[in-house]
Amino acid sequence: MFLSKEFIYLWDMNEMDKNIFKIKSNDIQPSRGKILISEPFLCDDIFSRSVILIVDHTSEGSMGLVMNKQLPVLVNEVINEFKYLDDIPLYKGGPIGIDTLFYLHKFDNIPGALNISKGLYLNGDFSAIKKRIFQEEDIKSKIRFFIGYSGWDESQLKHEIEENTWIIGKEDYNVLLSIDSESMWKETLSKQGRKYETWSRFPLIPLMN
């Protein structure tokens, strides 16, 4: 009897260890500087296969930036002073505040910048940022620009974590700012352990294998 690929896949899924989709890091609390990695089958235009850096976390809620959703527009097209520089990608940080520009960077001594973790900062005086950009020979791994941000109130993020929507992890910021956006979810997920490395190979649509 001939068994279709779809039937075999579904049978394999049914026989699979039921705990394979239980996230071991759920007992880790989200905090500034940690990352949220989406589970493989999350269906959402913005958050599907996303890596989110938490830039603020308080008792009232959390704020993050989606690191790997590049937009089809360059920062050079948005900021006229940058039009003669090498192409600077622009990312969609989330669905909130889409009229606001955010920037993560590794430039120290920028007035007003929020320290996310050692050597990584959010925003700050834009005149000082522009000066550093013009001084640097290569800024690709030193700054990333975003339109909008992602936000949760305390109960919302807690609920999503309990539902195994997110893996809470940590990534080296030198890697996070330099890694290609198309491979970031897979590479970051793979580093969280053997089980999650298996997750990274799952197709987005299960029957497409």
**What domains sit in the chain, N to C, each tagged with a CATH number?**
29-199 (3.40.1740.10)
Instruction: Evaluate if residue 2 carries a pLDDT over 50.
Output: no
Quick one: pLDDT at residue 198? 78
Look over the chain and give the mean of its residue pLDDT values, rounded to a whole number: 84
Overall residue count recorded for the chain in this entry: 209
Alpha carbons 163 and 161: distance in angstroms, whole number:
5
Question: In the structure, what pLDDT confidence band is assigned to residue 170 with cuts at 50, 70 and 90?
Answer: confident
Please give the model's pTM, rounded to 2 decimal places.
Answer: 0.84
- HSE at residue 10, side-chain half, CA atoms within 13 A, is 5
CB contact set of 76 (below 8 Å; sequence gap of 6+): 82, 83, 85, 87, 88
Token pair 């050079």 is found at: 76
DSSP 51: E
Percentage of the chain exceeding pLDDT 90: 53
Residues 3-22 pLDDT 10s: 444 433 443 444 445 455 55
**Two tokens, residue 140:** 């690709």
Q: Which amino acid is located at 119 in the chain?
A: G
The yes-or-no verdict on residue 179 having pLDDT over 50 is yes
